[in-house]
Structure 1
Amino acid sequence: MIRTGLIGFGLGGTAFHAPLIDAVDGLELAAVGSSRAEAVAKAYPGVPAVSPEALIADPAIDLVVVSTPNATHFPLATAALEAGKHVVIDKPLTPSAAEAEALIGLAEAQARLLVPFHNRRWDSDFLAVQALVQGDRLGEILLFEAHWDRFRPELSQAWKEAEGGGQLLDLGPHMIDQALVLFGMPEAVQGDVARQRGNSPVDDYFTVTLFYGTRRVVLASSRMIAAARPRFALHGRGGSFVKYGLDPQEAAMRAGGSVRDPGHGLEDPAQYGVLTLPDGSTETIASERGDYRRFYAGVAAAIRDGAAPPVAAKDALAGLQLIELARQSAEEGRRIPLA
């Protein structure tokens, strides 16, 4: 068993990491680094709640999972790697590309895994989109659009809306990662980043356009949109695919559902996307079963068997570099080519 220590028992720890670790063969949730001892004991009897420092220092812990505010990712991961642990970090890997590069170098020097939690590669709808692209159902893709919107006009007290957070650093890593999985690195990037709620200390709107020759990839998110835009819209020489609604896994896990439920990861057929062909005919495309357990199963295989990690740290680094270029582009009002 790979003894796993989880640092952080907020939303990410309780709704994502702890239940996924608990459900994957070969992993054991051995300790939680949190001050919420009562909550840990109620959810996972027998699992001790300790300080992050004690968890990292424990020689029996093989894997450390960091699910804490952004600014703490780099120091906690650095300490864990220096202690000889493998490390998983929730997105963003770090707040900056420079810190991500430093962590990658440290992980290589320590011969330990550093794996970004880009679980959205296993969203039900993204798996369907990936199959369409790989199967060339739409021919050459000319326009790919992804939207991830909310309607939150009031500021919350969450750290994600404090300095060091923001919409682009919160959802951008997932959305950019999905684009890179499909199309690789672009030739250029253009960003539009704004604070549309006047009292917001961080950005709450972004549109990032990635350029690939004649193809455009447009990734957009706002906290001030009440009417849903398509989650995915793909337009190619052979037709279009449009889909609304989000993968159901997060909502189910936040509501206390189990990843072991028979219907977990299955999308409501009413949310399936529609493929429209040039002759006007349509076909409903069923979303695949989403399953974030595949991420942690991949981590276990990488530690135990030497398999490739489910997400490469350099992929997260590439995403952070694009986020920084998008911010620069927004500030300078121009498209920025990649070196």
Structure 2
Amino acid sequence: MGEVLRVALVGYGLAGRVFHAPLIRATPGLALHTVVSSDAGKVHADLPDACVVGDPQRAFADPAIDLVVIASPNATHAPLTIAALQAGRHVVVDKPFAIDLREALEVAAAARASGRLLGVFHNRRWDADFLALRALVEAGTLGEIAEVHSHFDRFRPTVPDRWRERAGPGAGLWLDLGPHLVDQALQLFGVPDAVQADIAIQRSGAEVDDYVHVVLRYPRLRVILHAGALVPGAGVRFAVHGTGGSWFKHGLDPQEAALRAGGVPGGENWGVDPAPGRLLRVDADGALHDAPSPIPAGDYRAFYAGIRDAIRDGTPPPVTLDEALDVMRVLQAGIDSAAGGRVVVP
């Protein structure tokens, strides 16, 4: 099977506990060795055999650790990533890997100087619905794509008391869900020519943005990225229109809900989306054909399997540093566009 890589996980909040720890433990060739947390009892309730330390520097300096995973609040991503890289560790950092482009470039420089792997957790490349859309685009089924609507809506009318909802660096919906939406768009269509963004606060009592509507401009194509906190029900996830037809998908990939419910990655029916897409085609006679469009199973473990192979075998990482920087350039362009009320070139 090859060498088992020992992992230190920094942070045991939502991202660390719900996403990273289960995925690390479910990936052959990875072993969750250490968790950095101020609440050892919380960690040991789930992971009785884990070593728990309160200081991330202790984990970075531990020669037993091969890979550090940063799942702490966004504002700490860059300094912790740089420290872990300088300690000689490979690093996976949750998205966004920095709070702005300037900070992202500093992290990238540290990664290149260290000679270590830096992977950014853009896990939604392995959403079931995105895999289906990617296959349709690559096969040319929809012809030349003209218009894409990519939504990530939720219904949270009451503002939760958590760091993502409090005023401060790295908070807000654009830096929470925006990285997912942007990364998926760039994977399909590349970096846009320009970005136009409307980022706002809609809920009473909210301190940070909870509404984003961002248009990525290509020569003819328009990609609309949208996220809101006041959208109940299984709304549209994708609506894609091209010269060969349209594709629609409602509801979110099931993996996050399964992880929140304590599901084990790779278990029975893991990543199987119960809601198929809809493919609409118009034939030569002008007749409209509307048929279900199958959705392959998604699997976030593919990210960590790719990280394992990149470290152990030297294969290309699942998310390259250049790809992660491109996401940050578009995120920064969105911030600048919304602040200045203008179109920005990323």
- Percent identity among equivalent residues? 49
Residue of structure 1 equivalent to 2:144: 140
Does the 8 Å contact 1:147/1:220 carry over to 2?
Answer: yes
**Paired residue for 1:39?**
42
| 1:95 partner amino acid | I
Greater displacement, 34-43 / 132-141 = 34-43
Deviation of 1:13 after TM superposition, in Å, equals 0.9
Instruction: Write the deviation string for residues 289-317 of structure 1: whole angstroms up to 9, x where unpaired.
Output: 10000000000000000011100122222
SS in 1 for 2:48: coil
Secondary structure at the counterpart of residue 7 of structure 2: strand
Identify the match of residue 66 of structure 1 among 59, 65, 70. 70
For residue 114 of structure 1, report the CA deviation from its aligned partner. Answer: 0.7
Matched, 1:280 2:288: yes
C-alpha contact 1:40 1:48 (8 A) present in aligned 2: no
* 1:95 partnered with 2:70: no
1:251 is aligned to 2:254 = no
* Residues in 1 aligned to 2:204 and 2:331: alpha-carbon distance in whole angstroms: 23
Report 1:1-339 matches (<5 A).
1-51=4-54, 52-162=56-166, 163-164=168-169, 165-268=171-274, 271-278=275-282, 279-338=287-346
Distance 1:40 1:120 in 2: 26
Instruction: Report the TM-score when normalising by structure 2.
Output: 0.95
Q: TM-score, normalised by structure 1?
A: 0.97
**Amino acid of the structure 2 residue aligned with 1:241:** W
Q: Which residue type is aligned with residue 147 of structure 2? A: L
Give, in whole Å, the separation in 2 of the partners of 1:86 and 1:111: 9
Cα deviations across residues 172-195 of structure 1 (Å, max 9, x unaligned)? Answer: 001000000000011111000101
The code of the aligned residue for 1:148 comes to F
In structure 2, C-alpha distance between the alignment counterparts of 1:189 and 1:68, rounded to whole Å: 29
Q: Which ranges in structure 1 are unaligned for 5 or more consecutive residues? A: none
Helix, strand or coil for the counterpart of 2:104? helix
Contact 1:244 1:273 in 2 (8 A): yes
Q: Distance in 2 between matches of 1:104 and 1:308?
A: 17
Alpha-carbon separation, structure 2, partners of 1:20 and 1:36? 21
Q: CA deviation at 1:336?
A: 2.2
**Whole-angstrom CA distance in 1 between matches of 2:103 and 2:322:** 12
Equivalent position amino acid for 1:53 in 2: Q
Offset of residue 38 of structure 1: 1.7
Specify every segment of 5 or more residues in structure 2 that has no aligned partner in the other structure, as ranges: none
SS of 1:231's equivalent? strand
Deviation at 1:168, TM superposition (A): 0.3
Query: Residue 234 of structure 2 contacts residue 252 of structure 2 at CA under 8 Å; is this kept in 1?
Result: no
Q: CA deviation at 1:228?
A: 4.2
How far has the Cα of 1:45 moved from its partner?
2.1
Q: Is this contact kept in 2: 1:173–1:316, CA < 8 A?
A: no
Q: In structure 2, the residue corresponding to 1:281 is in which secondary structure?
A: strand
Mapped to 2, the partners of 1:34 and 1:244 lie a distance apart of: 37
Give the Cα separation in 1 of the matches to 2:311 and 2:345.
Answer: 37
Separation in structure 2 between the aligned mates of residue 71 and residue 19 of structure 1, nearest angstrom: 24
CA distance in 1: counterparts of 2:137 and 2:61, whole angstroms: 45
Equivalent position SS for 1:76: helix
Q: Deviations over 1:202-228 (max 9, x none)?
A: 111011101111110000001122244
Which 4+ runs in 1 deviate beyond 6 A?
none
Instruction: Tell me which moved more, 36-45 or 152-161.
Output: 36-45
Aligned AA for 2:120?
P
Give the Cα separation in 1 of the matches to 2:38 and 2:127. 31
Q: Secondary structure at the match of 1:15?
A: helix
Task: Measure, in 2, the Cα distance between the counterparts of 1:26 and 1:337.
Answer: 42
* Aligned-partner residue type, residue 125 of structure 1: D
Note the C-alpha offset of 1:143: 0.2
Q: Distance in 1 between matches of 2:234 and 2:89?
A: 42
Q: Give me the whole-angstrom Cα distance separating, in 2, the residues matched to 1:93 and 1:83.
A: 18
The CA deviation at 1:334 is 2.2
Backbone CA RMSD of aligned residues: 1.1
